[in-house]
């Protein structure tokens, strides 16, 4: 389904209609032929389907009316942006699914009650990354004094994008999980080593994204850092 914004004609469009896909990159809007994605039935895809199925059932079978009402209250206070950059409101069910799917993927317990704090967790302003082809490690810098790091059940999850040419200066996914830092469990240091999903080659540019998970089920927006892979860490 495509999102369309009307003005003096059509001013913005995102999504697919018939055989055309409308999208936007840093240079503006563009149109391309629509391609049908394949179904790889990968272990990750199978895991996600199982998690989403479980959460959809949990919303009705595990949560009671009070819990669902707490998620709806949280949803009413939170604004997100759609593909056109316009603010939208999600439902409590959608927030429950989004927060808990990320929690369950990373071995964290189900957050049943809706959050009392009616705001998104802040992003990490210290977020940075360097990569080494010799060690085949991604070293991320983060803020170990953030609230998520002080609670069991809080975490910072890292996601890596596929390496690109050094001349590329923009990347917006897709992302694959590369590691996690867990509150209280991991020592409060300012850097942490992730094992990359893709082999690191000197001179390639990589992007690493982070998302913060709180014990109450809230998740931050994505924050991103990039670097050019060096042979060794400085």
Residue 177 and residue 93 share a domain: no
Q: What is the pLDDT of residues 27-75, one digit of tens each?
A: 565 566 666 666 666 777 788 899 999 999 999 999 999 999 999 999 9
Number of folded domains that form the chain: 3
Residue 210 and residue 142 share a domain: yes
For 112, the token pair is: 């049943």
What whole-number percentage of the chain has pLDDT above 70? 81
Comparing 87 with 159, the larger pLDDT belongs to 159
Cα–Cα distance measured from residue 92 to residue 62, given in angstroms and rounded to the nearest whole number: 15
Q: Are 214 and 115 in contact (CB under 8 A)?
A: yes
Q: Are 102 and 214 in contact (CB under 8 A)?
A: no
Mean pLDDT, the chain, integer:
87
For 209, the token pair is: 């994204």
Domain containing 20 equals 3-33
**CATH number of the domain where residue 202 is located:** 2.60.40.10
59 in any annotated domain = yes
Question: What pLDDT was estimated at residue 41?
Answer: 67
Cα–Cα distance measured from residue 231 to residue 198, given in angstroms and rounded to the nearest whole number: 15
């Amino acid at each position: 389904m495509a999102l369309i914004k009307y003005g003096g004609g059509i001013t913005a469009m995102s999504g697919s209609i018939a055989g055309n896909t409308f999208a936007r990159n840093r240079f503006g809007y563009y149109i391309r032929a629509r391609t049908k994605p394949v179904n790889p039935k990968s272990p990750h895809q199978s895991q996600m389907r199982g998690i989403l199925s479980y959460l959809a059932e949990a919303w009705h079978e595990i949560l009671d009316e009070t819990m669902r009402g707490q998620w709806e209250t949280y949803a009413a206070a939170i604004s997100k942006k759609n593909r056109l950059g316009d603010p939208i409101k999600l439902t409590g069910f959608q927030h429950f699914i989004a927060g808990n799917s990320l929690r369950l993927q990373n071995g964290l317990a189900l957050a049943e009650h809706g959050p009392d704090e009616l705001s998104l967790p802040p992003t990490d302003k210290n977020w940075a990354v360097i990569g080494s082809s010799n060690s085949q490690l991604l070293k991320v810098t983060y803020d170990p004094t953030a609230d998520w790091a002080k609670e069991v059940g809080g975490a910072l999850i890292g996601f890596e994008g596929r390496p690109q040419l050094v001349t590329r200066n923009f990347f917006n996914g897709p992302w694959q999980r590369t590691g996690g830092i867990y509150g209280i469990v991991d020592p409060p240091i300012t850097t942490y080593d992730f094992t990359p999903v893709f082999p690191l080659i000197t001179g390639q540019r990589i992007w690493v994204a982070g998302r913060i998970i709180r014990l109450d089920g809230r998740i931050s927006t994505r924050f991103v850092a990039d670097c050019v892979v060096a042979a060794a860490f400085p």
